[in-house]
Chains A and B, each alone.
Chain A
Amino acid sequence: AQTVTQSQPEMSVQEAETVTLSCTYDTSESDYYLFWYKQPPSRQMILVIRQEAYKQQNATENRFSVNFQKAAKSFSLKISDSQLGDAAMYFCAYVRNQGGKLIFGQGTELSVKP
């Protein structure tokens, strides 16, 4: 069975600094997708970034980028130039190609210090 693990329940970063959130997963599939979601206090789930497993190039979205290590089954999120609005719970998620359920990690609570 596929699993997703986020080993950092809480992280903290100084405003304007860079922080990396860790995520590992386990799957026997070769074709799948990985996502990072942001959940602010409003509790909405906001898609931050996605990565296709068949692509070697790491995805980037403005200040957000990932380090995707397929062999190691690792998918970390790097937030550069952290802003106060980045403070939220961040979830890593996996889905195999052609559907199936999205599998979530436990979440990492990120706080940003001014």
Chain B
Amino acid sequence: EPEVTQTPSHQVTQMGQEVILRCVPISNHLYFYWYRQILGQKVEFLVSFYNNEISEKSEIFDDQFSVERPDGSNFTLKIRSTKLEDSAMYFCASLSGSLRRNTEAFFGQGTRLTVV
């Protein structure tokens, strides 16, 4: 079965530092996403990316966040100046998005971000 791969699995960073979370989506998928989940809480949408640009973003996704797909395979989420409340599990997902075909939406294993 195809896989979405995220690195690192766990990142500890000091408040105010920049972090980059990396994802390798499924190669023939069209839509890419970042979600986060604070422990014990719901899964929150951050941003979706299609055709090399942001297609939608949530209120959480403010100027401190950015996404890139620099080389056509990797999909990164950058948090410029981390806050304590950014501590969460961050999930990357990719969606095949083919019209009238079996749409698949797979998630990576997540990156646990701890801001201290």
Which residues on A are within 8 Å of B, measured CB to CB? 33, 35, 37, 42-47, 50, 52, 54, 91, 93, 95, 97-104, 106-107
Name B's interface SS. strand
The CA of A43 and the CA of B39, in the complex, are separated in Å by 9
Q: Are B107 and A45 in contact (CB under 8 A)?
A: yes
CB distance from B38 to the nearest CB of A (A): 11
Q: Are A47 and B105 in contact (CB under 8 A)?
A: yes
Given A33-B103, A43-B89, A47-B104, is A102 in contact with B110 using a C-beta cutoff of 8 Å? no
Residues of B with C-beta under 8 A to A42: 109
Q: Are A99 and B43 in contact (CB under 8 A)?
A: no
Q: Are A95 and B42 in contact (CB under 8 A)?
A: no
Q: Are B102 and A52 in contact (CB under 8 A)?
A: yes
Query: Can you name 24 A-B pairs with beta carbons within 8 Å?
Result: A33-B103, A35-B105, A37-B107, A43-B89, A43-B112, A44-B107, A44-B110, A45-B43, A47-B104, A47-B106, A50-B103, A50-B104, A50-B105, A93-B105, A95-B105, A97-B99, A97-B103, A99-B30, A99-B48, A101-B45, A102-B95, A104-B45, A106-B42, A107-B42
